[in-house]
Amino acid sequence: TERTYIMVKPDGVQRGLVGEIMARFEKRGYKLIALKMRTADEALLKKHYCDLVEKPFFPSLLSFMTSGPVVSMVWEGLDAVKQGRQMLGETNPLASKPGSIRGDFCIDMGKNICHGSDSVESAENEIALWFTPEEVLKYDQTRAAHIYE
């Protein structure tokens, strides 16, 4: 089954939205298989955002993302990558629908509180970048029989 990398950015941590964001994935039925809090350094973020390093906004993105702790997690379940992106909303919060995390809790693209992998391939790369293999757990979700047919 599919896995996605979801991260609460420093603004989301500062604003006390960690529980709210996690609760949405939990309630939807996704299984939490990895969780960690840390302040990321520039080397890690350059790898994470390797496709954005040439963008004019990259320096400000780097200083923002290293400004404080982030909460990293891996959620597993049916269609996790695409559904995770939909639950987060659009990159620009102003284009995000109410009911999505960004549509409900933020308004500025540079302070959009959360990250979600944009493809299955980038999810696997991001999980390997932010977690060691031992930190990603395997266990049975006993409620699965009530979530999946």
Residues with a catalytic annotation lie at 115
Say how far apart CA 49 and CA 51 lie, in whole Å.
Answer: 5
Looking at the Cβ atoms of 57 and 148, the one nearer to ligand GTP is: 57
Q: Which is nearer to ligand GTP, 9 or 31 (CB)?
A: 9
- Identify each DSSP E strand in the chain by its residue range: 3-8, 31-38, 70-76, 114-116
Could you tell me which stretch among 15-23, 33-41, 56-64, 114-122 binds Mg ion (CB under 5 A)? 114-122
Q: Judged by CB under 5 A, how many residues of this single chain contact Mg ion?
A: 1
Q: CA geometry: angle at 130 spanning 39 and 47, to 5°? A: 85
> H-helix or E-strand containing 81?
helix 80-88
Helix (H) or strand (E) holding 19: helix 18-28
**CB 81 to ligand GTP: min, Å:** 11
Binding of ligand GTP at residue 91 (CB under 6 A)?
Answer: yes
99, with CB counted inside 10 A (0-12, 13-18, 19+), is exposed
Residue 61 binds: one of Mg ion, ligand GTP, none (C-beta under 5 to 8 A by kind): ligand GTP
Which of 63, 110, 143, 144 contacts ligand GTP by CB under 6 A?
A: 110
Specify the residue, 29 or 58, whose C-beta has the smaller distance to Mg ion: 58
- Tally Cβ neighbours within 10 Å of residue 131: 19
Distance CA 105, CA 116 (A): 16
Contacting ligand GTP within 23-52 (CB under 6 A)? 52
Question: Out of 20, 104, 118, 124, which residue is the one contacting ligand GTP (CB under 6 A)?
Answer: 118
Residues that bind ligand GTP (CB under 6 A): 52, 57, 61, 91, 109-110, 112, 115-116, 118
